[in-house]
Amino acid sequence: MAEAPHAGPVVEFKNVSKTFGTYKACIDISLRIERGEFFSLLGPSGCGKTTTLRLIAGFEEPDVNGGEIRIDGEFVNKKRPYERQLGMVFQNYALFPHLSVERNIAFGLEMRATPKTEVPGRVERAMKMVRLDPGLFARRKPAQLSGGQRQRVALARALVLEPRILLLDEPLGALDLKLRKEMQLELKHLNKELGMTFVFVTHDQEEALTMSDRIAVMSNSRIAQLGTPAEIYECPRTPFVARFIGESNFFEGRCRGRTAAGWQVDGEGSTFEIPHHPSLTDGAAVRIAVRPEWLDVFRPDAVPAGENALPGTVREVIYLGETLHVLVRVGEREVAVAVRNEGQLTRPLTFKAGDPVAVAWMRDDCQVLEADA
């Protein structure tokens, strides 16, 4: 009888740290990755995301007394990569140029001494899984394939081993934009179809939002925020997260008193209202983020009742096709307002550079930010 899967998370980090010399690559990382989840590690270069992936893979070990890594509940700090039943897809694909597609895919099976009678069937199934026709591609060499086809071979080579977790280290970075978007949807579909846990490293915010069930945003070797794409985008916890995921406008002020639904804030040459937040007290400095698409721009005398409003002057209107960005000078800062394009040839936007306006938003459309770690 097959062993029942562990009931808890498939991957768990408990206060994991990793140091190279004097450089702290990961600091006190704690996370749980659930079975079948598409989990992304997102952040800029040097933030610790690839080191975190390599710690899962077993290519790196945590520091001495540097926390615990568990896979299916088992302590694996000292286990070798081949003992962890993982598959990995690298950014450069790492295909053997002298081997055919089918031999590349079969390589891992041969290293594991899989019975020769099983290999052809498993290779064929893996190729069909990634939509590569075995009749057309099995005997081709990597040099005879497009970038997208090489990426699929690398994916099939990992999947043919039937891993419990698939690790993907920026595997779409070398593809052109159109193909990258197609492969994003294919990987997401494959994750759901197979029910396999995917752990995906990327620096591309849109890629992470498109594909992930949850995202760990990393900064300065730590997790800055962990949550669903909607939680990360709509409720950024720190200025770094608000800047790194999409665009944000920042406003600052000082709390001057509570209201029934939030706080009154003095700042930016006016007064505005923000939601309740547990860190706020009377007189406290506060910083908020508001997405451009959650702002509106009005004539100064036409702001709807109940909305926050700051006076400004239109600096420029940028045509982006689907939207227009109205750049407004508010005090010493520039604020971007995203306006839906309703057709500039038939219903053109009436604002132009130099017009006095008010930038407005609803109280609940702003996010109170904590300080960056």
With a cut of 50, say whether residue 225 has pLDDT above it. yes
Dist CA 229 CA 187 (whole Å): 17
- Contact, 126 vs 156, CB < 8 A? yes
Are 105 and 60 in a shared domain?
Answer: yes
Q: What is the pLDDT of residue 371?
A: 87
Are 16 and 134 in a shared domain?
Answer: yes
Dist CA 47 CA 234 (whole Å): 22
Are 218 and 360 in a shared domain?
Answer: no
Are 253 and 160 in a shared domain?
Answer: no
Are 234 and 257 in a shared domain?
Answer: no
Q: What is the pLDDT of residue 2?
A: 43
**Would 133 be classed as within a structural domain?**
yes
Q: How confident is the model at residue 1 (pLDDT cuts 50, 70, 90)?
A: very low
Q: What is the pLDDT of residue 72?
A: 94
Are 107 and 194 in a shared domain?
Answer: yes
> Scanning the structure block, which residue is given the tokens 């075995």?
134
Are 182 and 271 in a shared domain?
Answer: no
Are 279 and 229 in a shared domain?
Answer: no
* Domains in the chain, number: 2
Environment class of residue 39 by beta-carbon count within 10 Å: exposed (0-12), middle (13-18) or buried (19+)?
buried
What CATH number did the domain enclosing 331 receive? Answer: 2.40.50.140
**Would 213 be classed as within a structural domain?**
yes
Could you list the residue range(s) of the whole structural domain that residue 178 is in? 11-243
Q: How confident is the model at residue 362 (pLDDT cuts 50, 70, 90)?
A: very high
Backbone angles phi, psi at 55, to 5 degrees: -70, -40
Are 167 and 239 in a shared domain?
Answer: yes
Are 58 and 194 in a shared domain?
Answer: yes
Mean pLDDT of the chain: 91
Q: What is the pLDDT of residue 5?
A: 61
What CATH number did the domain enclosing 97 receive? Answer: 3.40.50.300
Single out the residue in 243, 262, 284 at which a domain terminates: 243
Strand, coil or helix: 128: helix
Cα 67 to chain centroid distance, Å, stands at 25
Are 122 and 79 in a shared domain?
Answer: yes
**Would 267 be classed as within a structural domain?**
yes
Q: How many CA atoms lie within 13 A of 117 on its CB side?
A: 0
Q: What is the pLDDT of residue 6?
A: 67
Q: Strands, E, within 36-127: which ranges?
A: 38-42, 68-71, 74-75, 86-89
* Better-scored residue on pLDDT, 182 or 242: 242
pLDDT in tens, 54-96: 999 999 999 999 999 999 999 999 999 988 989 988 877 788 9
Are 287 and 361 in a shared domain?
Answer: yes
